[in-house]
Amino acid sequence: MKQMTYAEAIRDGMRVEMQRDPNVYLAGEDVAQFGGCFGVTGTLYDEFGPQRVLNTPISEAVIVGHAVGAAAAGLRPIAEIMFVDFMGCCMDELFNQAAKMRYMFGGKAKVPMVVRTPCGAGMGAAAQHSQCMESWFTHIPGIKTVMPSTPADAKGLMAAAIRDDNPVVYIEHKQLLGVSGDVPEGEYVVPLGKADIKREGSDITIVAWSWMMQKALAAAEQLAAKGINAEVIDPRTLIPLDKDEILKSVSKTGKLLIVHEEVKTSGFAGEIAAIVADEGFDYLDAPIKRVTAPDTPIPFSPVLETAYLPSEEKIIKAVEEMF
Amino acid sequence: MDLKKEQLLDIYKKMCTIRAFESKIVEIFAAGKIPGFVHLYLGEEAVATGVCANLETKDFIASTHRGHGHLIAKGGDLKSMMAEVFGRTTGYCKGKGGSMHIADVDLGILGANGIVGAGMPIATGAAFACKYKNNGAVAVAFFGDGASDRATFHEALNLASTWKLPVVFLCENNGWAISNSQKTHQNITDISDRASGYGIPGVSVDGNDVIAVYEAAGAAIERARKGDGPTLVECKTWRHRGHFEGDPGAYKDPKDQEEWLKKDPIPRLEKNLLKLNYAVQADLDKIKADTEADIEEAVKFAESSPLPDPQELFTDVYAD
Amino acid sequence: MASVGIIANPASGKDIRRLVAYGICFDNLEKVNIVKRCLLALAVTGVDRVVYMPDYYGIVPRAVEGLAKAHHLSLDIVEADMEMTGTQIDSAQAALAMNQAGIGCIITLGGDGTNRMVAKNCGDVPLLPISTGTNNVFPQMVEGTIAGLAAGAVACGLADFPAVHRTKKIVVLKNGKPVDMALIDAVVLKDIFIGSRAIWDEERIRKVVVTRGEPDNIGISSIAGNLHPIGITESKGMAIDLGPGNISLMAPLAPGLIRPIQVAAYKILEIGEEINGEKGPLVIALDGEREVEVGEGEEVSFQLTFEGPRVADPRLVLRQAVAKGYSQGEQAMKKLHRLKEEN
């Protein structure tokens, strides 16, 4: 184990896999000498050189589009999109090309690629640099969606994403990049589709991921002081989703709260709620609740942005209303 | 120009095969035997054939919605293609892709594509893989005049030229972006003019003359193989049919259509073959009859192939 | 009333020699710019009317549109009376229409190939050729403004011999019948197809017939230029057989391509002299482009004549015009006013 930040852990995940497999390379805007807009790629350019760590023009469509072609031709690209907000510029390449190629070709193509992209508000970056939009990707059959909440998960899920033979959207939260934690050294894989119980509890199940996982954990500690023992589950990957672990927990607690940072309407919480309502209705002794961002764009002024974001207080309040 | 008699007769056979395949599709589509949309390559046979005659199996192509010609020219299997168009399990994609998504990655065919202009980034990536693996292979992106207006054209040419990738951007300028004539959708007439904006060479060539296409594409492919980077090759051609089957093409001036029919690439090649004594009319008739028989056989194969089991819906979404 | 024709070829400068050699890339926007310069110059020379070849890009209309907002062009600019085909035939059709319309001078924008088509039909109308092609011997690299001034001077009758002079040509005969012509060079190739038209590979050249050849020529005629130079006005030409022989030389066959040439034999041609006996199958390239397919059983021959088009040399033309005072005094200032900028 070694102490690493979330950003270092992502980098270490890429580093180990690049050492392991010469077909893995990294391309994106400012990822080489500059080390990435948020410093995530850091020293990888110095370690692997210009053949394997490539700066691209500001051309999201061809960053993702070329990765599709390179993956179909036998490589394992990691394509970085500087902000998840920029995915609109390369959505066709992701949802019509990468996601569907295998299916359209009758299973005769493999598209092993990772699209890494940071998400999240909380730094005054306003409406076009702050979003969480994971349900854009979970709505597309053919791609997997990964959202780590801890440094160890960040590393292990990165390895799994790179080794996966499918397109994987790997979403890093900007607020987590500097968070430190214990991370296994060397090869370390966290399988996709395996939820993690981040806090065991018996009174309510809180499902949250990415930055909201940390908020949910902090809220759970405060709730414990108030006598509510929450179980906090981090699905870690939304597609594939470990619904069994969620259902198992709800069967124990009888209550479900889902927390996410993306906006409420058509957000992924709705999907989890529907699954539990469908397959775990008998376990429930209260309506399923959601804590999410409101259905607005993300405002700039810190006062407004704070009002926008889900918080520990909002989580605690929602939980208390369920008792 | 080094085309030998056998090569030229091969090229002729490929062109006739495309012609026969597409003509058969006209017939079976009209008869209601196949579902969905089909966009036919009739009239443009010289382009795919002239280009692919320069390619090896290890080379990649990214095709378009009008892809049957590219696939046949790159060596696609007629029965698997026809079965796919019929939506049968024996089709290239087990009936899950249809006309617009036929692919054979083993032959370097990265798929027809239903999104106009989507093939250019994909071919750019395949070319990156060729360069990365240093295996001497190249990629060709086929696209039309309409696709040259898309952002993907700009992004792909810009990246490929900056990274000096072994890719040829092969524009089939058939004069029409669906119902819009070239002059109504771009302020230029020679798409090759755009090359200089990316610091790469661009050439325009008669796309209905298979020998001219073969020469120009050959020179561009050789540049790519030598490591000299991408080239934009514009082949000026004409689609005989509408944008898709069912589109009567009423927007075309009948006079233009008539002029272009006179430039039909197949009779043009026939004239050459006869003049050079590479073949007598009976030889050509036999090649044509053979290709038509091959297509009949492909149709029989398709029609007698099983339809997919509904459970097939759920497979191939993800690789295991 | 003085009139000038403009034949601007939208297809020149785009062929395969940009790949197999290092040919100049000439986009059509630059041709529009050249025509703008020509028009602005023509407007001050006393020309009233400009007749132009219609083309699929619309080079001249775009030039006019671009100028109309900034300048008052006192020129009547009209399309030639012809049907556009979008092929090289248009250049010949335009020349015919201009010849019939009594044009005083034709400005061409293209290469040797474009001028060859114009020369077929321009009769005695002098040409002022601006190079926008690939292998250019016939047209010169001349600035558009200067070309416009010179063409205007010719059309207004301010220049004559030797500023405007007759050129030579090669008549191509198939089985004894004239089928085509070349202004600079006719080349017998081992090829059997016209294909992408361009020629660049010396291995395929069997025979070269030239009207002239200077060491500073680019293209096939440079073989003659490096063997035994023949000038534009000299009453002779040359036929060269390539192949193993005593003479080897280097020649710039295409832009950036300086190649070794083996000369088996060569012969100075007199005016009227005919070179016989090339049997098909083969292809003849004329002024740098594969043009004529000669089938099996056909025979082709070449005849040198001094019946090529008349050509205006811009430097000599403008010297004559200046000597006649065209650019000085009240008359000149008045002409300049025809081009006043609009506010």
Provide the ipTM: 0.96
Residues of B with CB under 8 A from a CB of C: 1, 3, 188-190, 192-193, 195-196, 201-206, 209, 211-212, 214-216, 219-220, 223, 231, 259, 272, 275-277
Residues 24-43 in A contacting B (C-alpha not used; CB under 8 Å): 25
A108 min Cα distance to partner chain B (Å): 7
In the 8-state DSSP scheme, what is residue C279? E
Q: What is the pLDDT of residues C156-202, one digit of tens each?
A: 999 999 999 999 999 999 999 999 999 999 999 988 888 888 888 88
User: Does B315 reside within a domain?
Assistant: no
In the 8-state DSSP scheme, what is residue B311? G
Q: Tokens 């057989």 map to which residue?
A: C241
Rounded to an integer, what distance in angstroms lies between the CA atom of residue A89 and that of residue C198? Answer: 42
Please, are residues B1 and B215 in contact by the beta-carbon 8 Å criterion? yes
With residue A256 as reference, give the H or E element that holds it: strand A256-263
Please, are residues A36 and A87 in contact by the beta-carbon 8 Å criterion? no
Rounded to an integer, what distance in angstroms lies between the CA atom of residue A156 and that of residue A6? Answer: 11
Q: Which CATH number applies to C2-166+309-337?
A: 3.40.50
From chain B, the residues in CB contact with C28 under 8 A are 188-190, 193
From chain A, the residues in CB contact with B118 under 8 A are 65, 92-93, 96-97
Q: Tokens 């020219």 map to which residue?
A: B73
In the 8-state DSSP scheme, what is residue C4? E
Helix, strand, or coil (residue A24): strand
Give yes or no for A107 touching B (CB within 8 A): yes
List Cβ neighbours of A13 (8 Å cut-off, separation of 6 or more): A154, A155, A156, A157, A158, A159, A162, A188
Contact: A141, B317; criterion CB under 8 Å: yes
User: Does B314 reside within a domain?
Assistant: no
Give yes or no for C28 touching B (CB within 8 A): yes
With residue B21 as reference, give the H or E element that holds it: helix B5-30
How many other β-carbons are positioned within 10 Å of the β-carbon of residue C343?
Answer: 3
Rounded to an integer, what distance in angstroms lies between the CA atom of residue A119 and that of residue B102? Answer: 36
pLDDT at site C339: 64
Q: What is the CA radius of gyration of chain B?
A: 19
Closest CA to C8 of C25, C31, C27, C30: C31
pLDDT at site C205: 93
How many other β-carbons are positioned within 10 Å of the β-carbon of residue C174?
Answer: 19
From residue A218, alpha-carbon distances to A177, A224, A307, C36 in Å are 18, 10, 18, 73
Maximal CA-CA distance, chain C? 69
Task: Determine the structural domain holding residue B226 and report its residue range.
Answer: 5-305
Give yes or no for A72 touching B (CB within 8 A): yes
Sign of CA dihedral C99, C101, C105, C107: negative
User: Does B313 reside within a domain?
Assistant: no
Maximal CA-CA distance, chain A? 58
Q: How many domains does chain B have?
A: 1
User: Does B176 reside within a domain?
Assistant: yes
* Confidence check: pLDDT of A33 > 50: yes
Burial letters B119-129, b for 16+ CB under 10 A, else e: bbbbbbbbbbb
Burial letters B80-115, b for 16+ CB under 10 A, else e: bbbbbbbbbbbbbbbbbbbbbbbbbbebbbbbbbbb
In the 8-state DSSP scheme, what is residue B147? G
Q: What is the pLDDT of residues A223-263, one digit of tens each?
A: 999 999 999 999 999 999 999 999 999 999 999 999 999 99
Contact: B129, A68; criterion CB under 8 Å: no
From residue B101, alpha-carbon distances to A73, B22, C190, C238 in Å are 17, 16, 43, 59
Rounded to an integer, what distance in angstroms lies between the CA atom of residue C301 and that of residue C268? Answer: 16
User: Does B312 reside within a domain?
Assistant: no
Tell me the pLDDT of chain B (320 aa) as tens digits: 568 899 999 999 999 999 999 999 999 999 999 999 999 999 999 999 999 999 999 999 999 999 999 999 999 999 999 999 999 999 999 999 999 999 999 999 999 999 999 999 999 999 999 999 999 999 999 999 999 999 999 999 999 999 999 999 999 999 999 999 999 999 999 999 999 999 999 999 999 999 999 999 999 999 999 999 999 999 999 999 999 999 999 999 999 999 999 999 999 999 999 988 899 999 999 999 999 999 999 999 999 999 999 999 999 999 98
From chain B, the residues in CB contact with C85 under 8 A are 259
Burial letters C37-46, b for 16+ CB under 10 A, else e: bbbbbbbbbb
User: Does B136 reside within a domain?
Assistant: yes
From chain C, the residues in CB contact with B201 under 8 A are 18-19, 25
From chain B, the residues in CB contact with C11 under 8 A are 190, 204
Chains B and C form CB pairs within 8 A to the count of: 80
* Confidence check: pLDDT of C343 > 50: no
Rounded to an integer, what distance in angstroms lies between the CA atom of residue A6 and that of residue C47? Answer: 77
Residue C341 binned pLDDT confidence (cut-offs 50, 70, 90): low
Minimum-distance CB partner of C195 among B190, B204, B209: B209
Best mutation target, C12, C15, C17, C18, to test chain B (most B CBs within 10 A): C18
Within chain B, strands assigned E span 60-62, 139-144, 167-173, 176-177, 180-181, 202-206, 231-236
Burial of B275 per CB tally in 10 Å (0-12, 13-18, 19+)? middle
A70 min Cα distance to partner chain B (Å): 4
Rounded to an integer, what distance in angstroms lies between the CA atom of residue A235 and that of residue B254? Answer: 62
Minimum-distance CB partner of B155 among A51, A62, A109: A62
Q: What are phi and psi of C259, to 5 degrees?
A: -120, 155
Nearest CA in chain C to B210: C195
Q: At the top level of CATH, which class does the domain C169-305 belong to?
A: mainly beta
Percent of chain A with pLDDT over 90: 100
**Half-sphere exposure of B248 toward its Cβ, with a 13 Å CA cutoff?**
3
Q: Residue B145: what residue type? A: D
C10 min Cα distance to partner chain B (Å): 9
The whole-number average pLDDT for the span A65-86 is: 98
Q: Are strands A168-173 and A114-119 parallel, antiparallel or unpaired?
A: parallel
Please, are residues A219 and A319 in contact by the beta-carbon 8 Å criterion? yes
Rounded to an integer, what distance in angstroms lies between the CA atom of residue A11 and that of residue A177? Answer: 11
* Confidence check: pLDDT of A148 > 50: yes
Q: Where are the alpha helices (DSSP H) in B193-309?
A: 210-226, 254-262, 265-275, 281-303
* Torsion from C-alpha of C156, C158, C160, C166, nearest 10 degrees: -40
CA A75 and chain centroid, separation: 23
Task: Kindly report the pTM of this predicted structure.
Answer: 0.92
Residues 61-120 in B contacting A (C-alpha not used; CB under 8 Å): 62, 91-97, 101, 103-106, 110-111, 113-115, 118, 120
Q: Tokens 């750019």 map to which residue?
A: B124
Give yes or no for A46 touching B (CB within 8 A): no
* Confidence check: pLDDT of C340 > 80: no
Minimum-distance CB partner of B190 among C14, C85, C197: C14
From chain B, the residues in CB contact with C12 under 8 A are none
Please, are residues C122 and C138 in contact by the beta-carbon 8 Å criterion? no
From chain A, the residues in CB contact with B162 under 8 A are 57
* Confidence check: pLDDT of C134 > 80: no
Q: What is the pLDDT of residues C211-251, one digit of tens each?
A: 999 999 999 999 999 999 999 999 999 999 999 999 999 99
Rounded to an integer, what distance in angstroms lies between the CA atom of residue A44 and that of residue A33? Answer: 9
How many other β-carbons are positioned within 10 Å of the β-carbon of residue A317?
Answer: 12
Residues 257-296 in A contacting B (C-alpha not used; CB under 8 Å): none
Rounded to an integer, what distance in angstroms lies between the CA atom of residue B17 and that of residue A66? Answer: 32
Minimum-distance CB partner of C16 among B190, B216, B275: B216
pLDDT at site A99: 98
Please, are residues B194 and B235 in contact by the beta-carbon 8 Å criterion? no
Give yes or no for B164 touching A (CB within 8 A): no
In the 8-state DSSP scheme, what is residue C98? H
Burial of B265 per CB tally in 10 Å (0-12, 13-18, 19+)? buried
B202 min Cα distance to partner chain C (Å): 7
In the 8-state DSSP scheme, what is residue B177? E
DSSP labels, C164-214: EEE--EEEEEETTEEEEEESSEEEEES----TT-B---GGGEEEEEES-B-
Q: Residue A273: what residue type? A: A
B173 min Cα distance to partner chain C (Å): 14
Burial letters B229-248, b for 16+ CB under 10 A, else e: bbbbbbbbbbbbbbbbbeee
Within B43-131, strands assigned E span 60-62
Percent of chain A with pLDDT over 70: 100
Contact: C195, B277; criterion CB under 8 Å: no
Nearest CA in chain C to B1: C191
A183 min Cα distance to partner chain B (Å): 27
- Residues of A with catalytic function: 129
C202 min Cα distance to partner chain B (Å): 12
User: Does B119 reside within a domain?
Assistant: yes
Q: Which domains does chain A have, with CATH numbers?
A: 2-183 (3.40.50.970), 196-321 (3.40.50.920)
Please, are residues C148 and C60 in contact by the beta-carbon 8 Å criterion? no
pLDDT at site B285: 98
Minimum-distance CB partner of B125 among A51, A67, A108: A67
pLDDT at site C342: 45
Give yes or no for C62 touching B (CB within 8 A): no
Best mutation target, A52, A66, A81, A90, to test chain B (most B CBs within 10 A): A66
B76 min Cα distance to partner chain C (Å): 26
From chain A, the residues in CB contact with B94 under 8 A are 106-107
The whole-number average pLDDT for the span A190-217 is: 98
User: CATH number of the domain that B51 lies in?
Assistant: 3.40.50.970
Rounded to an integer, what distance in angstroms lies between the CA atom of residue B188 and that of residue B204? Answer: 13
Return the partners of chain C (3 or more C-beta pairs < 8 Å).
B
List Cβ neighbours of B272 (8 Å cut-off, separation of 6 or more): B8, B211, B278, C192, C193
Determine the length of chain B. 320
Best mutation target, A105, A113, A162, to test chain B (most B CBs within 10 A): A105
DSSP labels, C293-337: EE-TT-EEEEEEES-S-EEE-HHHHHHHHHHTTTTSHHHHHHHHH
Q: Are strands A24-28 and A76-80 parallel, antiparallel or unpaired?
A: parallel
From residue A113, alpha-carbon distances to A78, A83, A161 in Å are 6, 18, 8
Domain map of chain C by residue range? 2-166+309-337, 169-305
How many other β-carbons are positioned within 10 Å of the β-carbon of residue B249?
Answer: 14
Contact: A96, B115; criterion CB under 8 Å: yes
From chain B, the residues in CB contact with C196 under 8 A are 1, 205-206, 209, 211-212, 215-216
Closest CA to B142 of B49, B56, B228, B267: B49
Minimum-distance CB partner of C196 among B188, B212, B223: B212
At least 3 CB pairs under 8 A between chains A and B:
yes
pLDDT at site C191: 84
pLDDT at site C135: 74
